[in-house]
């Protein structure tokens, strides 16, 4: 069993991005810019946005955070997005989810210029991803594919199972694996006998937010297990959706939580923003 070290891989990618950013500044006088909309006082969202801002600074990006109250109106957020769409110094626009109940999230995400949609949530980019065309890909699934590539794990011809069918993770993850010529199973809350699907998987990707959902009896011997879930237990520990201690001995490769997929998500956000800046150049 080999642990997939997402933290080390993400650091390596960030160093490469910093080098490319320095060249872009020197050659074209362009500094990649990322703008974030943060609504409300959710501590987890604030912590995550702070991590993104710190990462931007480390690689030499310009970044700005638009903090808005929980009571913000739809119109005010839309005005801010239109302003950022028109700002030539902003390459990437990110709306930290979830948004308050009074906000139509779909309308907000669709308003973002697809060329600045570094989260890959716009239907335009999702459609291009589904048809195998170049697009901005959601950061977490993209990070998973980078991990597989870095560790020499080729999905071609493999049975893959994705547990979780969200628009942000599960569906784009399945599309990327399908584009890489894996045979893909997608499971969700209504899937009957989940173990029947997971036991066939050469590559098992899990991201539903339920601690310990996947036990050793649900995993094929020698499988590659990618745990996207992150859950905080009552004792304060962070764990994934996979029972790591029980499952790890059966795997050829497995991601830990924390230190697995999480760091790759931010690295891919930086990569997408740099890509947008290069396209501007």
Q: What is the mean pLDDT of each run of 10 residues along the chain (281 residues)?
A: 97 98 96 96 89 96 96 96 97 95 96 98 96 96 98 98 96 98 97 97 96 96 97 90 96 96 97 96 77
Answer yes or no: do 143 and 255 share one domain: yes
Return the CATH number at 39: 3.40.50.10860
Answer yes or no: do 143 and 203 share one domain: yes
Q: pLDDT (tens digit, 9 = 90+) per residue, 224-234?
A: 999 999 998 88
Pairing type for strands 224-227 and 253-254 reads: parallel
In which domain, by residue range, is 250 found? Answer: 139-262
Task: Return the pLDDT at 236.
Answer: 85
Asked if residue 271 is part of any domain, the answer here is: no
Task: Return the pLDDT at 43.
Answer: 87
Asked if residue 128 is part of any domain, the answer here is: no
Q: pLDDT (tens digit, 9 = 90+) per residue, 155-165?
A: 999 999 999 99
Task: Return the pLDDT at 99.
Answer: 94
Answer yes or no: do 94 and 148 share one domain: no
Return the CATH number at 251: 3.40.50.720
Asked if residue 232 is part of any domain, the answer here is: yes
User: Which residue from 186, 279, 206, 276 is spatially nearest to 247, judged by alpha carbons?
Assistant: 206
d(CA 97, CA 45): 8
Task: Return the pLDDT at 266.
Answer: 96
Asked if residue 48 is part of any domain, the answer here is: yes
Answer yes or no: do 111 and 198 share one domain: no
Task: Return the pLDDT at 280.
Answer: 86
pTM of the entire structure?
A: 0.95
Answer yes or no: do 82 and 145 share one domain: no
Task: Return the pLDDT at 215.
Answer: 97
Asked if residue 258 is part of any domain, the answer here is: yes
Asked if residue 168 is part of any domain, the answer here is: yes
Please name the residues in contact with 37: beta carbons below 8 A apart, sequence gap of 6 or more. 66, 68, 77, 80, 81, 93, 94, 95, 96
From residue 135, how far is each of 17, 111, 139, 142, 163 by CA, in Å? 19, 17, 12, 11, 24
Measured between alpha carbons, how far apart are the two ends of the chain, in Å? Answer: 44
Answer yes or no: do 156 and 244 share one domain: yes
Instruction: Using CB atoms within 10 Å of the CB of residue 187, give its burial: 0 to 12 exposed, 13 to 18 middle, 19+ buried.
Output: buried
> Catalytic amino acids?
52, 96, 119
Number of domains observed in the structure of the chain: 2
Answer yes or no: do 100 and 172 share one domain: no
Answer yes or no: do 210 and 152 share one domain: yes
Asked if residue 9 is part of any domain, the answer here is: no
Answer yes or no: do 95 and 165 share one domain: no
How many Cα atoms sit within 13 Å of 19 on the Cβ side?
A: 6
Answer yes or no: do 90 and 159 share one domain: no
Asked if residue 129 is part of any domain, the answer here is: no
d(CA 111, CA 105): 10
Answer yes or no: do 111 and 145 share one domain: no
Answer yes or no: do 156 and 105 share one domain: no
């Amino acid at each position: 069993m080999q642990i997939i070290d997402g933290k080390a891989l993400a650091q390596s990618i960030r160093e490469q991005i910093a080098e490319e950013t320095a060249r872009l500044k020197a050659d074209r006088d362009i500094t990649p810019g990322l703008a974030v909309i943060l609504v409300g006082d959710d501590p987890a969202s604030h912590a995550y946005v702070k991590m993104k801002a710190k990462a931007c600074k480390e690689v030499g990006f310009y970044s700005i955070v638009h903090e808005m109250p929980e009571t913000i109106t739809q119109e005010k957020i839309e005005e801010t997005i239109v302003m950022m769409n028109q700002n030539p110094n902003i390459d990437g626009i990110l709306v930290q989810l979830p948004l308050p109940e009074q906000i139509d999230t779909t309308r907000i995400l669709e308003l973002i210029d697809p060329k600045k949609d570094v989260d890959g949530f716009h239907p335009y980019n999702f459609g291009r991803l589904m048809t195998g065309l170049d697009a901005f890909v959601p950061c977490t699934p993209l990070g998973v594919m980078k991990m597989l590539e870095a560790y020499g794990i080729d999905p071609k011809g493999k049975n893959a199972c994705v547990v979780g069918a969200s628009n942000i993770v599960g569906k784009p993850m399945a599309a990327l694996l399908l584009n890489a010529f894996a045979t893909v199973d997608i499971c969700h809350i209504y899937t009957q006998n989940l173990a029947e699907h997971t036991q066939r998987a050469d590559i098992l990707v899990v991201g539903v937010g339920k601690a310990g959902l996947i036990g050793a009896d649900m995993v094929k011997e020698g499988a590659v297990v990618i745990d996207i879930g992150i859950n905080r237990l009552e004792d304060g520990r962070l764990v994934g959706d996979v029972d790591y201690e029980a499952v790890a001995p059966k795997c050829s490769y497995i991601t830990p939580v924390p230190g697995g997929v999480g760091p790759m998500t931010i690295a891919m956000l930086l990569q997408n923003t740099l890509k947008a800046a290069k396209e501007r150049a």
